[in-house]
Amino acid sequence: MPTFGLIDGNSFYCSAEQAFAPELRFRPLVVLSNNDGCAIARTPEAKALGIKMGEPWHLFRKRPESRAVEWRSSNYALYGDMSRRVYDVLTERVPQVEPYSIDEMFLDLDGIPDLERFCRDLRRDVRQIAKIPTCVGIGPTKTIAKLANKVAKKETALSGVCDLRDPELRARHYERLPVDEVWGIGGQAGAKLAAAGIATIGDFVRADPRVMRDLLTVTGARVQTELRGASCLPLSLMAPTRKGIAVSRSFGHMIDKPAELREAICTFAARAAEKLRAEGLEAGQIAVFTHTNPHNGDPWYSAQRQGKIEPTADTGLLIGEAIRLLRAVWRPGYRYFKAGVMLQDLAPARRQGVLFASFDRDQSAAAMKAMDAINARFGRGTLRIASTATTPAWAARRQNLSPRYTTQAGEMLVANSF
């Protein structure tokens, strides 16, 4: 029987902020979404004050208890690099690691002796080296390991590690945990189960598999099988090829000038092209969209245009196509609130030339490789297409942004020592 682990960063975005600002530890801290809108990460101290996930910050900050709360604008460059550091620590100690999200990674723990002690040592090493506190769940399937991780977070007596390999211990937890705690049981599935009289995980596990399959399709049947201890989801060692890449933003102020919207679209296309090349892919289709704000009383307008293109990852070519599509969606007289660029029909970059290509593929690949190398060494945006922005006036509000301690040389110097 295989053994899986799930390691998860505790309040990951907040922990990443606290790693370089020790004065924030043990204090109520929230990290806000784009435009400093809603709470997307909270420390236990912030949760204790009643701050809910997704709660608009402009409303909560008016309450008296908010005076004790520290807050930060989302710093995705920092969080992504901190996630990479956690991954590096894990791959040095665990046979196989499968990243599931920025703060969660499945582990292959098969055959490791004294597993609980190993996981406690793993938590210690991640905390000491990557500066991120974690919890670990252990189980014979991925679904059980993820459930064990939730238990480890909630029950402080477990000291951050919960092992649910033992069927009897697992059954006791199943009887007291609601079924919507299970990975893969969403709101609609939970409502269907509740209507069928299934309230706990134990109820779900005991239910007739044929009935569950009819009620929740093959996905629900697979979840039930996993909870019974039979693994249906092996560890994936190779990430599936992306189906699409999207870069979009809500603007810090309304845009009503075509030049400003064009600059934003060009910037988004350039960032999407960077992501494309980082994964060794090319795009065969591009889309541009924009819309007004549906909540401020402005007239509603939303438009999207897309088109097939010759497969490429060239920033300049993708920007040119994005501008062409933008001309079709722009309408004067509106104040635009959000826009974005989507790349689709993705495939691995071709190693050989293409007959009747409209551009020199070898020259394009060499130019992009040189640009990426310069930007990797000296910082993103060091070398860029002139139509993109460096410090745009339309950028999302990020009034309390922490430094990019680990990815920008000029900002590393202000990090606090440990």
DSSP state of 56: B
pLDDT of residue 233: 87
Find residue 200's DSSP bridge partners. 178
pLDDT digits (tens, 9 = 90+) for 362-399: 899 999 999 999 988 887 888 999 999 877 888 777 77
Residue 350: pLDDT over 50: yes
Q: Which are the contacts of 159, defined by CB distance < 8 A and separation ≥ 6?
A: 120
* Residue of 32, 34, 60, 30 lying closest to 43 (CA atoms): 30
pLDDT digits (tens, 9 = 90+) for 280-317: 999 999 999 999 998 888 999 999 999 999 999 999 99
* Residue of 245, 242, 257 lying closest to 290 (CA atoms): 257
Distance CA 341, CA 288 (A): 5
pLDDT of residue 193: 94
36 in Cβ contact with 399 (< 8 Å): yes
In this structure, are strands 134-139 and 161-163 parallel, antiparallel, or unpaired? Answer: parallel
Distance CA 111, CA 97 (A): 15
Distance CA 77, CA 405 (A): 9
- Collapsing DSSP to helix, strand or coil, 164 comes out as coil
- From the DSSP assignment, how many helices (H) and strands (E) are in the chain? 14, 12
pLDDT digits (tens, 9 = 90+) for 146-183: 999 999 999 989 999 999 999 999 999 999 999 999 99
Residue 355: pLDDT over 80: no
Distance CA 193, CA 216 (A): 9
245 in Cβ contact with 272 (< 8 Å): yes
- Collapsing DSSP to helix, strand or coil, 393 comes out as coil
pLDDT of residue 351: 55
* % pLDDT > 70, the chain: 94
pLDDT of residue 231: 93
* pLDDT top residue among 407 and 388: 388
* pLDDT top residue among 396 and 110: 110
pLDDT digits (tens, 9 = 90+) for 129-143: 999 999 999 999 999
pLDDT of residue 418: 40
Give the count of beta carbons closer than 10 Å to the beta carbon of residue 65.
12
pLDDT of residue 416: 47
Average predicted confidence (pLDDT) for the chain: 90
Could you tell me the two tokens for 259?
Answer: 């030049």
Q: Residues 30-43: what's their mean pLDDT?
A: 91
Distance CA 383, CA 217 (A): 50
**What predicted TM-score, i.e. pTM, was given to this entire model?**
0.78
pLDDT digits (tens, 9 = 90+) for 243-268: 899 999 889 889 999 999 999 999 99
- Collapsing DSSP to helix, strand or coil, 239 comes out as coil
Spatial strand order in the sheet of 281-292: 244-255, 336-348, 281-292, 302-312
Q: Which are the contacts of 202, defined by CB distance < 8 A and separation ≥ 6?
A: 171, 174, 175
Give the count of beta carbons closer than 10 Å to the beta carbon of residue 122.
22
